[in-house]
A and B are shown apart, each in its own frame.
Chain A
Amino acid sequence: MFFPISGAHISPIYLVIVGFIIGILGGFFGVGGSFIAGPALRLVGVDWNFAVGTDLAHIVGKSAVAVRRHRALGNVDLKLGLVMALGTIAGAEAGAQLIQMLKRAGNVNLVVSIVSIVVYFGISVFMIWESQKTLRSRKGGSQRGLVKGAKSKMDYSAFSPVTRAIQRLQIWPMIALPASGIRAISLWIILLVAFVGGLFSGFLGGGAGYIRMPSMVYVLGVPTHLAVGTDLFEIIISASYGTFSHAIKGNVDILIALVMNTGAAVGAQIGAISTQYFTGPKIRLAFVPLPLIGAAIVIYTLFTGHKL
């Protein structure tokens, strides 16, 4: 099939399958899936600029499908998602500016690569430790480490004493997030978490859900199921902004995104429904390979000079 906007010839079946796989991952883990979509588009000859912009457009569609499903399951905190979207957009802009500054100073690739590898490995190691510790403590019948979550989505975390300490920080203004079961938390902490996610998004491209979803659980104390659904809702807003920005620069082939979305529509629903069959710690443990894939891509790029 010929896509006139990007001038690429790509099999629609290939695009549907890629969309389907990303849909399952996105629906289950609350990530955009750009670490797969970008390389998958590059693999069939789509130019780098089109791969980045088109991937963002596809993320909007896939997340919209997954959010509708998660919302029906009660997994979306709209208030938290809207606040986080503001921080993410600001962070993404700051990340893009930081990249420009590093470019002028030289060694941008090396600095960004090393920082991202350390962060990715750090997230994976921490999540393995935390989820395994939580699962072991639950087997022991302990109720300690309970994260204050929405009653229907009670979650457990070995990191919850730190999370509760963060929630107790009285930095005005404090807001309540009843959908997530959080009585009061500083608005600035939410914005900071979103800003850091956005910063990495601006640094590395994509949605950076592999940073934001764990941050929502461990820093804000949002139950895992709600973090997945809310992250996807937040991604719709920030990725729409990114799509618009890339489209006016001529980097979006919407036809490719529409074809990918036909596969993602099925995959995202399978992923979203599957979350109901797993507890929070198990979802977090299954999440561990995603940042590692991100790290592997950065290491590959660093050593070969080929941007996937």
Chain B
Amino acid sequence: MKKETARTLRAFAIELAIYALFVVAYFFLVLNLLGEWLDRLEISHRYTYAGLAILLIMGQAVLLESLTTFLIRLFRGRSE
């Protein structure tokens, strides 16, 4: 039982570390580039910005959920 718990925790830690790497890269590559453009859009085209804001947050949510599910399958599969 203890062995199983340790294995699960180790797999979870690896998943989190890889996830963190993806997220840091995402911060620098995507959000930094998007920042100024979104700022200008928010000032000049409010309705477009409002629609895009919902699309972005939903799109990111689906993407991240898929990424974490993939990582879980990858590492849980290997640890079992």
Contact = CB atoms under 8 A, between A and B. Distances in A.
B38 A254 contact: yes
Contact of A64 (B34, B35, B53, B58): B58
Contacts of A4: 35-36, 38-39
B9 interface: no
Interface stretch (A94-102, A140-148, A245-253, A287-295): A245-253
Q: How big is chain A's contact interface, by range? A: 20 to 34
A4 B31 CA distance: 11
A250 B53 CA distance: 12
Q: How big is chain B's contact interface, by range? A: 20 to 34
Contacts, number: 95
A247 B49 contact: yes
A4 B64 CA distance: 24
Contacts of B36: 4
B79 interface: no
A258 interface: yes
A68 B35 contact: no
Interface of A: 1-5, 12, 16, 57-58, 60-62, 64-65, 68-69, 240, 243-244, 247-248, 250, 252, 254-255, 257-259, 261-262, 265-266, 269
Interface of B: 16, 19, 23, 26-27, 31, 34-36, 38-39, 42, 46-47, 49-54, 56-58, 60-62, 64-65, 68
Given A57-B57, A261-B64, 10 more contacts: A12-B27, A57-B53, A62-B61, A64-B65, A68-B65, A244-B54, A254-B38, A254-B53, A255-B35, A261-B61
Query: 5 tightest A-B contacts by CB?
Result: A247-B50, A265-B64, A64-B61, A61-B57, A4-B39
